[in-house]
Amino acid sequence: MQTQSSRWLGHGIYLVIMAILISGVYFAGQKIDYTWHWERLWPYIINTESHDIVAVTDGTAVVDASGRLSITPDYGDDPQIIERYDTLVSRNGDLIFQGDTVARIDGWRFGPIAEGLWVTIKISFISLIFAVLLGVMFGLMRVAHGQVWRNLAVTYVEVIRGTPLLVQIFIVYFFIGTVFDLDRFTAGVAALSIFTGAYVAEIVRAGIQSVPVGQMEAARSLGMNYVQAMAYVIMPQAIKRTLPPLAGQFINLIKDSSLVSVISITDLTKAGREVVSGSFAPFEVWFTVAALYLVVTGGLSLVIQRLEKRLSASD
């Protein structure tokens, strides 16, 4: 039995150890003469500066009576019309060269890190849905009666688990992506779902096999066919048992999604790399990127814990 006081003592010691670790990181930074510039990071997350609107071709600026700005190009093309701006930089009749700032727009925008985070969430979420579909399908095949199904499922699982995700991403992007003309994002989602699906299939198989044989017999003896027994009796129990390992797999999926940056998808990791070269604050950037991954994975853990609690009503 743990007493109340020994628990508080435990918490206290834990805090001391954490404080030592964190100050260790701080002094390590000092030792290599690193100056921390956390404030440099903000524009890369949320940019509040006004941003420039530039001319796309050489031409002449035209500001009409209602204040609308357009640029009439020197050669033939349609004029570039600027619908919305806050400050005018050029004047009516100005000669404009390509790349010139003609106006500015105020207000905030998401910076590259926030946009990268959004891409990571999007790609993980879509991949998660497909991974579950693939995993349930192959998990069911793995326990099916037909030998063909079982062989197919075993092949899928073994091939995917036995090769590195990084290699799979390259194969999906450069081979399958070329054959079927996939864009980067689709290729990334495909590689991640196929990879995670293999692990989900094994988890689903284990879940189904952990349901006692008597459950299937009881369902069949009531006249249910195999599909009904699976859908109404076996799977609801199997899913409950598989939630904890599935949670782990989904968290892996979010982290593995960082690998899609190798096919130039600007996810959180690639955004981090780009921001490092612009901000010259590598430590701050990578700590921030890590923290953002932690927030996403932590959020997912929380959702699954809630779900587990709800499903445990029958325990």
The site string for another protein over 284-313 (x = CB under 8 A, - otherwise) reads: -----------------------------x
Report the alpha-carbon distance of residue 149 to residue 142 in Å, rounded.
7
* Surface-to-core class of residue 175, CB atoms within 10 Å of its CB (0-12 exposed, 13-18 middle, 19+ buried): exposed
- Restricting to residues 144-163, name those near another protein by CB under 8 A: none
Q: Which of 99, 164, 212, 298 is in the footprint of another protein by CB under 8 A? A: 212
In the complex, least distance from residue 146 CB atom to another protein, rounded to whole angstroms: 17
By C-beta, is 106 or 217 nearer to another protein? Answer: 217
Q: Which of 179, 255, 198 lies closest to 187, judged by CA?
A: 179
Q: Which of 215, 252, 258, 266 is in the footprint of another protein by CB under 8 A? A: 215
In the complex, least distance from residue 221 CB atom to another protein, rounded to whole angstroms: 4
**Kind of pairing between the strands at 69-73 and 101-105:** unpaired
- Restricting to residues 263-282, name those near another protein by CB under 8 A: none
Q: Which of 5, 6, 147, 314 is in the footprint of another protein by CB under 8 A? A: 314
- Restricting to residues 224-263, name those near another protein by CB under 8 A: 224-225, 228, 232-233, 236-237, 240
Count of CB atoms situated within 10 Å of the CB of 180 = 11
By C-beta, is 222 or 295 nearer to another protein? Answer: 222
- H/E stretch holding 119 reads helix 112-142
* Surface-to-core class of residue 101, CB atoms within 10 Å of its CB (0-12 exposed, 13-18 middle, 19+ buried): middle
CA angle 216, 222, 226 (to 5 degrees): 45
Give the interface with another protein as residue ranges (CB under 8 A). 212, 214-215, 217-225, 228, 232-233, 236-237, 240, 313-315
